[in-house]
Copies of this chain bind each other. A is one copy, B any other.
């Protein structure tokens, strides 16, 4: 029997209940079942459908704009950190457990809104999806995009991934390239007959050391780029001048650069080297000039921040929606055994989004 979830009650208790239903990627059925049942029983004003281990719910109030709110139900593997545990008291209370940060706190906020915001100023679509922690190809949001694209349409997307309760907008692109040097093999006892491919990487490494990464401001968000070697390999054996070496470099680039511009930039930085792009995900512009986004920023209070990592925000942005991250928890704790979230952030996120969706003033 699926767990019973109280959607209208305290979102912290709801987070605790969600954390206590294990949902490692690929095994989200029990949690999806509990979410679907609870929505059907406690949010009768919503149209609800199921797609595999994803649950979709929406209003059809004919509002002039629609906000899509999304959270994934799955977690990374459990690491001795279940069931949930609560420590501290009052404003200092902390909820510990697998998924508490990434991202059942956000899911609880969304479920609470689904049940309690019955007269929103925007139409609402809630998307609880599966397999976000796996390869992009298995991502449940990608499946919904292909099979049920109308369920992702709207004027603003809010992805409740952990952001310390701050609006994080857009995200940087990421590109991995390989620089491959070639030489000529020879016995090291006759090194002058060879050409050392590893030595030839020296120049590229110096360029990386000297590289000055850009900082770009877009819609009030600061994006800080980065260019880092992430792998190097070369060598045949201890007495051979190596004829091949490979340096892998990861470029994180602000969303004002397209994939083509990012690649062109790297080709300039590494002029003279053979360069191959081996991995690429474009960034997402913050899109905070959209009216609904401005309302959300106002409701949240503080200044928006640039999202640094790549999240499904970029998927919405690629589909043309302004999209932000806004959720409880410190993203640097995600995927750690010590994953934990201050309960005050869960309640604050629920309050901010509730005000925003109800049209209330900050």
Mask: chain A, 167-189; 1 = CB below 8 Å from B; 0 = not: 00000101010000000000111
| Stretch in A122-130, A146-154, A203-211, A256-264 touching the partner | A203-211
CB neighbours (8 Å) of A198 from chain B are 205, 208, 229-232, 247
Are A238 and B231 in contact (CB-based, < 8 A)? yes
Kindly report how many copies of this chain are found in the complex they form together: 2
Task: Give A50 Cβ to nearest chain B Cβ, in Å.
Answer: 33
Q: Beyond A172-B189, A252-B189, is A196–B208 a contact (Cβ under 8 Å)? A: yes
Are A235 and B239 in contact (CB-based, < 8 A)? no
The 6 closest A-B pairs by CB, nearest first: A202-B205, A231-B235, A191-B226, A198-B229, A189-B308, A202-B206
Q: Which of A150-172 contact B (CB under 8 A)?
A: 172
Chain A residues proximal to chain B, CB less than 8 Å: 172, 174, 176, 187-192, 194, 196, 198-206, 208-209, 213, 224, 226-242, 245, 247-248, 250, 252, 279, 308-310, 332
CB neighbours (8 Å) of A241 from chain B are 228, 230
For A236, give the chain B residue with the smallest CB separation.
Answer: B230
Are A226 and B192 in contact (CB-based, < 8 A)? yes
Contact of A205 among B201, B239, B332 (CB under 8 A): B201
For A202, give the chain B residue with the smallest CB separation.
Answer: B205
The A interface is mostly helix, strand or loop, or mixed, namely mixed
For A187, give the chain B residue with the smallest CB separation.
Answer: B309
How far is B237's CA from A279's CA once the two chains are assembled, in angstroms?
13
The contact sample of 25 A-B pairs, CB cut-off 8 A, is A174-B188, A174-B239, A188-B228, A188-B230, A188-B250, A191-B226, A191-B227, A191-B252, A192-B226, A196-B208, A201-B205, A202-B202, A202-B205, A202-B209, A205-B205, A206-B206, A229-B235, A230-B235, A230-B237, A230-B238, A232-B232, A232-B234, A232-B245, A238-B248, A239-B250
